[in-house]
């Protein structure tokens, strides 16, 4: 079970990292206005968090064999039978939820920084 969790963390983390890179690039494109850049980053991070929440809710109905995590697992580490599929879905749901929570925290931080800068008159 721990091998599945570690592999899911790496695979999902890599996808979230690429999404975060896209958010940073959008924020850099608005670098002429820091308040706007932070606001855009906050909105995009909220979108990312929502996508991750939806993925977490859909994990029990997802075919494990069609996931990147399944492809990265060794043959011996892949779960078998219905109980294995439920455990696999529970791990995916947990990892998606963790990254969604972190994305939400980053979005809230960006919103707070945007409000502070706006309050300071920038």
25 close to 87: Cβ distance less than 8 angstroms = no
For the chain, give me the number of helices (H) and strands (E)? 4, 0
For 52, the token pair is 């991750």
Angle made by CA atoms 27, 100, 54, in degrees to the nearest 5: 110
Q: From CA 49, how far away is CA 104, in angstroms rounded?
A: 6
- Rg of the chain's alpha carbons, rounded to an integer? 18
The C-alpha atoms of residue 44 and residue 102 are separated, in whole angstroms, by 13
Pairs from 20-29 (Cβ < 8 Å, separation ≥ 24): 20/45, 20/48, 23/48
What pTM value is reported for the model?
0.89
Q: CA 1, CA 88: separation in Å to the nearest integer?
A: 8
The pLDDT tens digits along the chain (122 residues) read: 788 899 999 999 999 999 999 999 999 999 999 999 999 999 999 999 999 999 999 998 988 888 888 888 888 888 888 788 888 999 999 999 999 999 999 999 999 999 999 999 87
């Amino acid at each position: 079970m721990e091998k599945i969790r570690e592999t899911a963390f790496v695979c999902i983390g890599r996808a979230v990292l690429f999404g975060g890179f896209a958010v940073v690039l959008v924020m850099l494109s608005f670098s002429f206005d820091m308040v706007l850049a932070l606001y855009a980053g906050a909105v995009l991070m909220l979108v990312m968090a929502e996508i991750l929440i939806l993925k977490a809710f859909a994990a029990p109905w997802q075919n494990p064999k069609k996931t990147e995590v399944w492809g990265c697992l060794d043959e011996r580490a892949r779960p078998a039978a219905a109980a294995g599929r439920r455990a696999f879905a529970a791990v995916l749901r947990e990892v998606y939820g963790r990254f969604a929570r972190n994305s939400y925290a980053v979005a809230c931080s960006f919103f707070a920084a945007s409000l502070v800068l706006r309050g300071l008159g920038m």
